[in-house]
Chains A and B, each alone.
Chain A
Amino acid sequence: MAQTSTAARQIKRRKNGDYIRSSRGDKIFHGINLFIMIVLLSFFLYPLLNMFSISLSNEYAVLRAQVTFYPIGFNPQAYNLIFQSTELWRSIGNSIFVALVGCVSSLVMLSVAAYPMAFGEFYGKKLYTYMILFTMWFSGGIIPMFLTIMKLGLYDSLWSLIFNGMITAYYVVIVRSYFHSIPISVVESARIDGANDFRILFQLIIPLSKPVLATVALWVIVGHWNDYLNSLLFLSSKQNYTLQLVLKEMVLNAESSIYNISMSSTATTGGAAALGQQVRNAVLVVSMIPMCILYPFVQRYFISGLMLGSVKG
């Protein structure tokens, strides 16, 4: 009997050589799970494939809305337009500057903000905590923010973008939660050894907090990279424009190309008409590339950081 049921089961080998047996129920569950995940994957993947396909397809196929998840024909005019732009590379440099400097300064300031919330024992700690949390619930709005930036003399400066998003209450809470998971005895023993709070923070706590800092760093970088409205409001000089502003301008200009159709050769007619749609999708692809480059290097931190603070041990 045992042998028959053994033969009926699928044997699965684990890494260390032990065997676990999958039951029929497991097999069915895995099958259904796989099916659902494939369906979900297709929902998530289809828009990306459609976007990529439109950006590369033949212009008339784009005009007839025939493009689905693979390119029809080949017309890289949108990418030619984007990569021929002299403003593009300067804007990428600006965006990298804002993202990197913003990330480093954010991490430092977030750690400084979260440390007293996690390890501090001082009069007014609750008030301090609520002051930070208050900003998570209420905001002054665009005009007060603009006036503040003007008064600080940061208008038309990349530092306006860096300072504006430097400390976000939500991230402070995330970092504080992680700091709480570090045993207090580490801090106490450092104090006994004569270390002050700055030394404890920068030489002990921060090195122990790599997962949370890497996760928050990724969020901060993505936030700065994709930021459009703040750049639109605070930057006026072309040399300070970030990538999203330049890409948006390209899309708007490309959409105007329909008004440039003339009696000149047919080769330009369909291209001009489809340019708006193709550029709109191509800029999405181009703006995704840096994140695709960055993500493999921080993926393990991101995944381990997903469950930050959820398990106390």
Chain B
Amino acid sequence: MSFKRFLTAAAVASASALPASAALRVVATTPEYGAIATAVGGDKVTVAVLAKPTEDPHFVDAKPSHIVTLNHADVLIEGGAELEVGWLPPLTDGARNTKINAGAPGRVRASEGIQLLDIPAALDRSLGDLHAAGNPHFMMDPANGRIVAEHVATVFCQLDAASCASFKGNLQAFEEKLDAKTKDWAAALAPYKGRPIVTYHPTWKYFAARFGLVSELYLEPKPGIPPSPPHLAEVMQAMNDKKIKIVLVEPFQSRKTAEAVADRTGATVVDVCQFPGGLPGTDRDYIALLDADVKAIVAGFEAKK
């Protein structure tokens, strides 16, 4: 076969490989965006997620299979606040999909329109792993989840106008449920208003700000820098002084370190996760995840030690 005929055959094969289904193919970098896409898109979209809910989202492998997933995508939802900067660019470069190139309608930066916390005054890596855009863990505040859901619905409507009514209906149902649940969560956490918590990484600042907790103490001495003995000693001192009762830890963080700190301070280790699927019963469900997190934190505050 001549090279030209080979290329022609390849192009035909390429075109015919596109599924005939009209469902929007959505790819999310991390599972919470996938959950939002599922809630808004319903049966009019298919959703694939690159990062596992149990792995460190800063360090996902840029696996070639992700390139194939992105090659087929109509929509890519990313946080866009540098959380994925270490692994997403080589994937989008390899995917050769103009639908999700920067600036394309199918490229959704979830952080757009979100007021980010911790925007560094200066970019200085001696202060740890700073994100220039600000703290990227904004989805832990349900109010931000609501903004992202609206953003996603707008994009879905733009790309699949025929299903827009369905997307809007799903969005409304999602928002009603989220609003009601947010009231429940606020009520459940109200008794602990003003109470400080310890977390491994500054992941829970948005959550704490929403529900009146104080998240200022981390097992990491600086973002992304592993716990050091002197720093842990300081943390334990502060926990004793401030009577801090809970230490939040996620599936990919060192539970052993958290346990050691908790054991010495009479605190309780609370297993939480920022990603749907990272806790039992929360798969692909943003509201179920926050619900599980709130319940775990309340149980942690109430634990008798």
A and B part of one assembly: no
